[in-house]
Structure 1
Amino acid sequence: MELNNQLKALADKIEQLKDQIETEESTKHAFVLPFINLLGYDSFNPTEVVPEFTADLGLKKGEKVDYAIFHDGNPVMIIECKNWKEDLNVHNSQLFRYFHVTETSFALLTNGIIYRFYTDLEETNKMDEKPFLEFDITNLKENIINEIAKFHKSNFDIDKIFDNASDLKYLKEIKKLINNELQEPSAEFVRIFASKVYSGRLTERIMEDFSDLVHKAFTQTISERVNDRLNAALNKEAEKQQEEEFEEEEVISKVITTEEEIEAFRIVVAILRRKVSKDRIMHRDTQSYFGILLDDNNRKPICRLHLDGNKKYISLFDQDKNTHREQIHSVDDIYMFEEQLLQTIDYYEQE
């Protein structure tokens, strides 16, 4: 939950500041370093985060990657940063070269908003062309936050992340294919279903017809499943509410409203009729007090009466709905608080 809140705070900060950020260096300091810090690494500790990490390429010396994160004394991830306005697609090759010579486990390419995590699933010590994890930090879903948490210093386990990276990479690609097929079914995709339900020859015209049918079928199926889940959730909530109402009715049924409480209610109604009609003033008796409400609304309490004990009290409400209790000797003393009761009605009417 803490990481979730930190990521949301960073996303809010990015939305507020990005139009004022003009350079790559500003992007690093305003967006990327805070992300490294929320992963549990101290960006001011050179044993954890090394800026301008050397990545010499053969005879070409002096090549440096923006940051390297160290874990247990070893570099585990290199980070290449770009200006938040830049398209990351044109910078993959640069990170590819750095990954090869630094021999770290993971590489991160980011512009402070889009984050792409790479590793070497296909060939050892050779960065994959496609990231296994990619996200927009300003639009995070819960499953992505769970994946980000695995890179936190306290959770970091190279083997577990690497094993999971393969699933993530192929899941991403499969979801992309499914999404494409849902939007515009390919001939191969349409043929799979058409051949199972149509016994005739699949001519070009038939395939065109089935292309629309397959698209509609999938759209309707997804819509129906979503509606089923929503209805199930709503029914569950309704059942819960009914149970709560039943329990409340059970508690109320054990309460005996006395003649004295009814008399007190009539006095309050008589006072308040100058401001509102009597139909808007209701009472609810509970085991601990006799409550009087405006519009039968729990959020609009007028007063509460405590008449069952040896000492009698009236609880009054101020503008912030804070209560203060006053002792009374009989229900006739309620008239002493006429001004406060009328003022309470004014508060609600102003709202």
Structure 2
Amino acid sequence: MEIQLNKFFLIIIVLFSSCKGDAQEKYTVSKKTHQTATTANINFFDKKYTAQYTMVVDESTLADHPIRTFLDCTDSYFTIHYIPKTQELENYWVDQYFKNKDIDKINFEKESKEIGKKINSSSKDYVIFCYYVPSKFLKSNAGCSSESVYLSDRANAEIYYYNTQENKWKLIKKELSNVIPRTLESKYFKTNFSSYFVQNKKQEESSVDIQSDNRNIVGLWQLDCSISNSGLDISSNKGKLSGSLALSPQAVFLDIIVERNDGKSYDIKYLSQDMSPPLASENVIDDKNISKSEKIGELLFKNNNEIELMWYGLYNINTKKRTHLINQFSNNNSNNRVILKRCVEKE
């Protein structure tokens, strides 16, 4: 009888241990599944990640594109990178943005609002990445700040791409890293993820359509084709429109960029002063302070023989005022809307 009781208790103990092991195994699997789901659904735009826009990496280094950096040593260290798709936008951030700013006196809250406003107005013109390092790879000399934090040996960084159509972050690469997230330049992303900067087939087809439409506006446009003057001369190169335009006095010639909007309207933007004709000193434009992003005029394509020109004048980013309000087609400030005719040169 005693032997049978011992066998009975032994069976009970074995069954209990087996059930406990199953429960622990199920708990572990469930925990791993939860962690995986959390990582897959990470959202770097979540309000809990407070991060300002900036173009300043540190006291002596400027970024070549807008960034937003978040650091919490109990959570993570990451930087969102807004990489311009176009050369014009890249030139703006690299050459124009800091022209009249003192890096030692920047109001970072004001700067963040200014940069955010520009990005949000044309977010489709950026490829957005996030360079992310989990907290377990963060080390610090003292406290938790961008100056004291560094990465541990064999730290794993994760690179995410933001799909603007699906509004989701996609993990595209993991790599061993000793690079602090905020120090990466545009070149890193363009070199390693070049496919994200290539237009897809539909965009290419759309570009071909735009190039075809642009041919309508290419040519020489004047008030009177019988009068020899410079007029508004527009040309096209690989679908990009540019041209030349004379101001008043006639000795001031501009090289311009013409950008197509939706429909039949175009923006005119300043590129440079054409220095080839003889210039008096009073006619030289303050080139370094003339905005290349603000439009100086608009064109409305009416038909194959007529376009309408609305002139605004050059915008001085230093004085924040318009200059050269009169062009060759007008003789007073109020007469800034004119109809120009297409002029065909005789063969």
TM-score, normalised to structure 2, is 0.26
Larger fraction in strand: 2
So what's the TM-score if we normalise by structure 1?
Answer: 0.25
Higher RCO (C-alpha 8 Å, min separation 6): 2
